[in-house]
Amino acid sequence: MQTQKVIDHIVQWLKDYAVKAKVNGYVIGVSGGVDSGVVSTLAAMTGLKTLVIEMPIRQKPDQIDRAWEHMNDLKSKFPNVEAMSVNLTPAFEELYKTFDVKDDLFPNEKLAFANTRSRLRMLTLYYYGQLNGLLVCGTGNKVEDFGIGFYTKYGDGGVDVSPIADLYKTEVYTLAKALNLVKNIQEAIPTDGLWDVDRTDEQQIGATYPELEKIQKEYGTKTADDYEGRDQEVFLIFDRMHKAAQHKINPIPVCDIPEEWRND
């Protein structure tokens, strides 16, 4: 990958989009992971106002520490960067008390609450974005957004622009190194941070990002029978998740009404 060309291209793309949209810049949720670290840095490089927000919800201390280490590093390098923390734990606890049901009757409750965390963060980003005249900048990569749909619909998937959605996760790590992000961000183990227990992306998915990328690049040209061993296992994981995520990947279905029915 021609890393510097990719960096320059994304920065210019973000700048041009914001100028055309007549906004002041971007707001980004910073999780302490590599994706949000790269995106917030690229946004800062536009010279436009860049608001980075850390939004803990029952968050692990190491995730909070990584997020602030990165945000402080950004502030030291770019005068256009503002950083803040919005503690969403109290708001989530109120929702938890309101929504809570019996786990044995609703086995999907934990997943629903994980998605609720993500949607609460989306609401927060749009609130502060509107206050400051900023667009919400997404942090999803190509595998998450268009491969296995590993994001929350109307949560971290609810954004205005997606600057790294055409980059694979391994390419995002390459950008992180080139951008000289703090070491803890460059080496962060991917996790969505939406669960009360430590669950990495790999543990949730059952495959690593490099394994998934290999399948995604060949998907549509090969079937499960073309693979064997671990590759076949990952293909089946990718295929199952990709098919289940079509409601996220495709535009919202619209029921078209025949034009002749509009007139009596």
Residue 90 confidence (pLDDT) above 80: yes
Residue 61 belongs to a domain: yes
| Ramachandran quadrant class, 238 (left: phi over 0; alpha: psi -120 to 50; beta: rest) | alpha
Report yes or no: 42 and 81 within 8 Å, Cβ to Cβ. Answer: no
Give the mean model confidence (pLDDT) for residues 235-261: 94
Domain presence at residue 187:
yes
Question: Is 40 inside any structural domain?
Answer: yes
Confidence at residue 202, expressed as pLDDT on a 0 to 100 scale:
85
Give the tens place of pLDDT for each residue, 25-59: 999 999 889 999 999 999 999 999 999 999 999 98
180 belongs to a structural domain: yes
Which is nearest to 29 in space by CA: 91, 146, 120, 153? 120
Domain-located, residue 219: no
| Single pTM value for the model | 0.92
Residue 63: pLDDT over 90: no
Query: For residue 113, what are the contacts with CB-CB under 8 A and spacing of at least 6?
Result: 96, 99
125 domain-assigned: yes
How far CA 179 is from CA of 9, 34, 171, in Å, comes to 14, 11, 12
- Whether 95 is covered by a domain: the verdict is yes
Residue 235 lies in a domain: no
CB of 74 closer than 8 Å to CB of 36: no
Q: Which domain holds residue 80?
A: 3-203
pLDDT digits (tens, 9 = 90+) for 75-87: 999 999 999 999 9
The structural domain count of the chain equals 1
Average pLDDT over residues 200-217: 92
Question: What is the CATH number for 164?
Answer: 3.40.50.620
